[in-house]
Amino acid sequence: MGLELFDLRGKTAMVTGGNRGLGEVAVMALAKAGADVAVCGRKKGELDRVCSAIRELGRKSSSFLLDVTSKESVHKGVKEILQEFGRVDILVNNAGVNYRVPVLEFPEDQWDLILKTNLKGYFLVAQAVAPKMIEMGYGKIINMSSILGTVALPNQIAYASAKGGVDQMTKVMALEWAKTGVRVNAIGPTYFETELVAQLRNDPERFQFINERTPMGRWGYPPELEGIVIFLASAASDFITGQTIYIDGGWTIW
């Protein structure tokens, strides 16, 4: 038993929101481990840039315009991916948005957008992709959750509600598909420097709070996400399903 457990050659992965941030990190990790990757999102130019980087690694890659808030767009995108690649072995549900204000000021339209993107969007994409995985008898679904799926912070009412929902969604899908070969797990990151959290990164007080609250004393570096993505996408995690695995420098220890 060796590194071949982590080998993704011959597998096709699909990543939503793969054009930047943690989605791009996941895309590149999967490609480095050998997978061909369908890079999905809303910005053709940025998606194509990521696809070129994957092809430089010798893998197959194409971009697909897919808005996770639209069932029609999700089904169209998944159909096109299946037409081009013939299979999806690995799905990373990653697309996400956030908006931070206290509960009493929280606008309904932001609540709707966050829940539609970060929760319903994951459901729609998994529902579109899973039938092919079940037919193949093998699949790996990785839902990008957050420490906020289990811990609370002020100003995060919609985001924390959605991520808590992602953790529960992960368990229900895992249970329903446990005997089909489809494994469903979630990753719960702490703060990693991306556009999503730039506002907090640029606020010295918030930046320091996060450093001090984290047992390891710092934010995550985006490349540190690579290992857990490859692990959950590969045969190395074949007996794991329904779990949220935190990558948080110890935040959720206490």
Ligand X SMILES: NC(=O)c1ccc[n+]([C@@H]2O[C@H](COP(=O)([O-])OP(=O)(O)OC[C@H]3O[C@@H](n4cnc5c(N)ncnc54)[C@H](OP(=O)(O)O)[C@@H]3O)[C@@H](O)[C@H]2O)c1
In angstroms, the Cα distances linking 191 to 65, 90, 98, 187 are 27, 24, 13, 13
* 160 counts as binding ligand X under rule CB under 6 A: no
191 is an active site residue: no
Choosing from 99, 122, 159, 191, the catalytic residue is: 159
Per the CB < 8 A criterion, the answer to whether 175 and 185 are in contact is: no
CA distance 211 to 73: 39
The DSSP letter of residue 217 is S
**Exactly one of 14, 17, 230, 251 binds ligand X (CB under 6 A); which one?**
17
| Residue 77 binding ligand X, by CB under 6 A | no
Residues in the chain: 254
Total residues in contact with ligand X, by rule CB under 6 A: 28
Interface of this chain with ligand X, residues 188 to 207, rule: CB under 6 A? 189, 191-192, 194-197
Taking phi first (over 0 means left), then psi (-120 to 50 degrees means alpha), and beta for anything else, what does residue 12 get?
beta
What's the CA gap between 218 and 196, in Å, rounded? 17
With CB under 6 A as the contact rule, which of the stretches 28-36, 94-102, 226-234, 238-246 interacts with ligand X? 94-102
Please name which of 245, 230, 243, 237 lies closest in space to residue 27, comparing C-alpha atoms.
230
Q: Does 144 bind ligand X (CB under 6 A)?
A: yes
The residue at minimum Cβ distance from ligand X is 21
Contact partners, residue 196, CB within 8 Å, separation at least 6 = 21, 96, 97, 98
Cβ closest to ligand X, residue 75 vs residue 235: 75
132 in contact with ligand X (CB under 6 A): no
Nearest distance, CB of residue 236 and ligand X, angstroms: 22
Minimum CB distance to ligand X, residue 190 (Å): 6
Active-site residues: which are they? Answer: 159
Site residues (vs ligand X, CB under 6 A): 16-17, 19-23, 41-43, 67-69, 94-97, 117-118, 144, 146, 189, 191-192, 194-197
